[in-house]
């Protein structure tokens, strides 16, 4: 009985630490995104130039995503998590410094470090979440991603307060940098030791096709789950990177209004992920995701084509609410089968975060020529494809 109680206590502490870390990454990301219009104006960058600057975030993120699995296998997910958050803290400080001195290259470099931390972190904590979900025999990933959304919401709200008080971007980001490092010192110790470390490359792995990442990449179900996550993560990431600017440029509103629309999107994401567990348990993954993709598609279409701010605001909410469950449900579906689950979760995470972090800078290049609102048509296509592939997330028996 005592061993059972100790195990339950450890699971409880690990879960709480993961909730905090998911939220922390959301706060950091939203703090950068909400201030992008001011950063752009300070740097006097065009939309295309801003797209290249943001591409630093994508480059760093790709490096983090692609190296995370091997690092986890060597040192475990907890060590990777600690290293990631330190990179996020340092990158945030560098972005603030670059903005203060109007040095685009320093902002770019800061975003690379920040992005590396984000990419490195997200594979680690999604793996921690999937392992914890199986150990606890409960659906936890939507709630964990709701914590991320809650963090982005808190970060956006804090950013709006900073703007209302006329606090500079630099001071704001330095505060976030210090808070990020401080929270890390409190929370990291409650994560379990060695998660993922047992999956070091071995001779058995070379002879067992079920654990081969190349074999997993060829699985139709895994690829279709990846398509679901790709489309929904692209929709989420595009809003995170471009929604404030798109509202400012497309609807001729003030920066604080653009930030408010971003906050509305994050609120919808948070509500969708918070309520997601109830709907998923009641109706199942496939009907919920099909409905969600329809809501996201309809909402984004209202943003692009109406040209009327109140209707566009309704569209922003539907866009966020509909997009909210694609990523966490995809991760859960990838982890259905215990054999090869770590590799599948890692691969689907890489696909999702590639779309989340790399897709939006490319979208910005199209936005330079056709306008940001019109460029969101490519996001509509991604949502449509995710809806078509939604049957792939049906729970394995």
CB 266 within 8 A of CB 30: yes
- Provide the pLDDT for residue 104: 95
Query: Residue 201 domain-assigned?
Result: no
- Which SS3 state, helix, strand or coil, does residue 349 take? helix
| Both structure tokens of 99 | 């903005």
Low-confidence residues of the chain: pLDDT under 70: 1-6, 198-213, 338, 340-342, 396-397
| CA 358 to chain CA centroid, nearest Å | 12
**What CATH number does residue 150 fall under?**
1.20.1250.20
Query: Residue 342 domain-assigned?
Result: yes
CB 62 within 8 A of CB 132: no
Number of domains in the chain: 1
Range of the domain at 92: 8-190+210-393
Query: Residue 280 domain-assigned?
Result: yes
Query: Residue 59 domain-assigned?
Result: yes
- Provide the pLDDT for residue 357: 73
- Provide the pLDDT for residue 203: 47
- Provide the pLDDT for residue 212: 59
Each residue's pLDDT tens digit, 203-238: 444 444 445 567 777 788 899 999 999 999 999 989
Query: Residue 202 domain-assigned?
Result: no
- Provide the pLDDT for residue 176: 96
- Provide the pLDDT for residue 210: 45
Closest CA to 280 of 191, 169, 393: 393
- Which SS3 state, helix, strand or coil, does residue 307 take? coil
């Amino acid at each position: 009985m005592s061993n059972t109680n100790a195990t339950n206590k450890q699971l409880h502490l690990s879960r709480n630490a993961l909730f905090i870390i998911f939220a922390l990454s959301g706060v950091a990301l939203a703090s950068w995104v909400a201030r992008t219009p001011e950063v752009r104006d300070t740097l006097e960058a065009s939309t295309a130039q801003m797209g290249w600057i943001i591409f630093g975030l994508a480059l760093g993120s790709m490096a983090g995503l692609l190296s995370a699995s091997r690092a986890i296998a060597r040192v475990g997910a907890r060590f990777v998590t600690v290293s990631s958050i330190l990179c996020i803290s340092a990158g945030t400080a560098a972005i603030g410094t670059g903005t203060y001195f109007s040095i685009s290259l320093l902002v770019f470099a800061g975003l690379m470090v920040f992005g590396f931390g984000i990419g490195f972190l997200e594979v680690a904590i999604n793996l921690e979440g999937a392992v914890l979900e199986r150990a606890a025999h409960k659906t936890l990933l939507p709630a964990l991603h709701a914590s991320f959304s809650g963090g982005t919401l808190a970060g956006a709200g804090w950013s709006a307060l900073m703007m209302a008080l006329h606090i500079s971007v630099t001071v704001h980001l330095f505060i976030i940098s210090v808070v990020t490092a401080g929270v890390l010192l409190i929370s990291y110790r409650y994560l379990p030791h060695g998660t993922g470390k047992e999956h070091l490359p071995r001779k058995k792995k070379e002879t067992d096709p079920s654990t081969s990442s190349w074999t997993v990449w060829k699985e139709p179900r895994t690829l279709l789950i990846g398509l679901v996550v790709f489309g929904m993560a692209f929709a989420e990431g595009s809003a995170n990177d471009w929604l404030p600017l798109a509202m400012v440029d497309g609807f001729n509103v003030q920066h604080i209004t653009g930030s408010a629309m971003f906050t509305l999107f994050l609120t919808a994401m948070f509500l969708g992920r918070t309520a997601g567990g109830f709907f998923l348990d009641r109706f199942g993954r496939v009907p919920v995701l099909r409905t969600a993709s329809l809501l996201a598609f309809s909402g984004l279409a209202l943003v692009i084509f109406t040209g009327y701010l109140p209707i566009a605001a309704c569209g922003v909410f539907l866009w966020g609410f509909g997009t909210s469950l694609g990523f966490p449900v995809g991760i859960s579906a990838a982890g259905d089968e215990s054999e090869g689950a770590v590799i599948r979760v890692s691969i689907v995470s890489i696909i999702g975060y590639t779309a989340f972090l790399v897709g939006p800078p490319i979208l910005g290049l199209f936005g330079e020529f056709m306008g940001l609102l019109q460029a969101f048509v490519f996001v509509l296509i991604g949502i449509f494809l995710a809806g078509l592939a939604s049957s792939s997330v049906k729970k394995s028996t």
